[in-house]
């Protein structure tokens, strides 16, 4: 028996609705897979949290500008560096906006572009070092603090510093400065370009420090990097967005807003 026209229409209409819902679901899943995850540790001026938990900073502004340029969904979150780099090593679509480019990391990440260059030095409290040190060997007589997992930690280890003897590795920059100002360590390997922000945010003054030993060989370049599992298409989109932002001045405008040239 042939079904009536009315029921045929209902059947087709119901099938269409199911198909449409299925397409919406597929689109949602596709968008979820394409979502970009920008991770950063809480370190001024890259990522700053106010008392209400609102985020600001250089990395936040760069991430927002890239997402706007790509017209894409994304997540901007803070994570301890160890967790952030672990995610970048094991998950797709993870973007680290300010990453030190080292020989060890060269094949661990996909490099999208230079963020900015920084100058590094060993610094100590004023009055503790009447005369500047001439070389890194002399610094081995003192206890130096830096953050575990940072390129600075690897640098000092490669230069012969030993943990628990003359090298103190800590989980955060806040802790390294606290140790220094409490006279628990003698020096900190500092980023002379941006550490002023970090110190001021936790109540210490950069003006109370002396530059004990400039590390001219430690050429620090912070780059924007993506996880290895990120697709080639996404990488090209990100690289094109960064190139356009640098060409139209938006990139330098964000850097200047945070006091970085």
pLDDT higher than 70, residue 33: no
Bridge partners (DSSP) of residue 209 are 125
pLDDT of residue 13: 45
**Helix axis angle, 250-257 relative to 58-70, nearest 10°?**
160
Bridge partners (DSSP) of residue 111 are 225
Question: pLDDT of 54-108, one tens digit each?
Answer: 999 999 999 999 999 999 989 999 999 999 999 999 999 999 999 988 888 999 9
DSSP character string of 119-180: -EEEEEETTS-SS--SSHHHHTTS-EEEETTSHHHHHHHHTT--BTTTEEEES-HHHHHHHH
pLDDT band at 259; cut points 50, 70, 90: confident
Question: pLDDT of 127-142, one tens digit each?
Answer: 999 888 999 999 999 9
Tell me which CATH code domain 13-117+222-257 carries: 3.40.190.10
Q: CB–CB of 213/133 below 8 Å? A: yes
Residues 27-37: b if buried by 16+ CB within 10 A, e if exposed: eeeeeeebebb
Domain 13-117+222-257 identical in fold to domain 118-220: yes
CA distance 205 to 131: 21
Domain ranges of the chain: 13-117+222-257, 118-220
User: pTM of the full predicted structure?
Assistant: 0.63
Tell me which CATH code domain 118-220 carries: 3.40.190.10
Please give the mean pLDDT across all residues of the chain.
86
pLDDT band at 219; cut points 50, 70, 90: low
pLDDT of residue 68: 96
For the chain, the C-alpha Rg in angstroms (whole number) is 24
Range from 2-16, 138-152, 200-214, 227-241 carrying the lowest mean pLDDT: 2-16
């Amino acid at each position: 028996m042939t079904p009536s026209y009315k029921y045929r229409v209902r059947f087709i209409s119901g099938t269409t609705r199911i198909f449409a819902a299925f397409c919406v679901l597929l689109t949602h899943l596709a968008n979820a897979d394409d979502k970009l995850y920008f991770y950063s540790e809480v370190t001024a001026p890259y990522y700053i949290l106010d008392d209400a938990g609102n985020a600001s900073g250089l990395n936040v502004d760069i991430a927002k500008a890239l997402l706007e340029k790509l017209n894409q969904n994304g997540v901007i979150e803070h994570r301890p560096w160890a967790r952030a780099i672990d995610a970048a090593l094991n998950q797709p679509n993870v973007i680290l906006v300010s990453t030190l480019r080292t020989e060890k990391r060269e094949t661990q990440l996909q490099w999208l572009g230079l963020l900015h260059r920084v100058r590094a030095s060993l610094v100590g409290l004023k009055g503790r070092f009447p005369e500047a040190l001439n070389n890194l060997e002399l610094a081995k007589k003192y206890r130096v603090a830096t953050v575990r997992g940072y390129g600075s930690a690897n640098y000092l280890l490669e230069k012969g510093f030993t943990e628990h003897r003359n090298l103190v590795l800590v989980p955060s920059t806040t802790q390294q400065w606290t140790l220094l100002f409490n006279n628990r360590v003698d020096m900190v390997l500092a980023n002379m370009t941006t550490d002023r922000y970090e110190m001021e945010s936790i109540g210490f003054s950069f003006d109370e420090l002396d530059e004990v030993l400039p590390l001219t060989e430690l050429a620090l370049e912070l780059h924007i990097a993506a996880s290895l599992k990120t697709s080639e298409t996404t990488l090209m989109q990100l690289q094109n967005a960064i190139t356009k932002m640098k060409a139209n001045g938006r990139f330098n405008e964000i850097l200047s807003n945070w006091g970085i040239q």
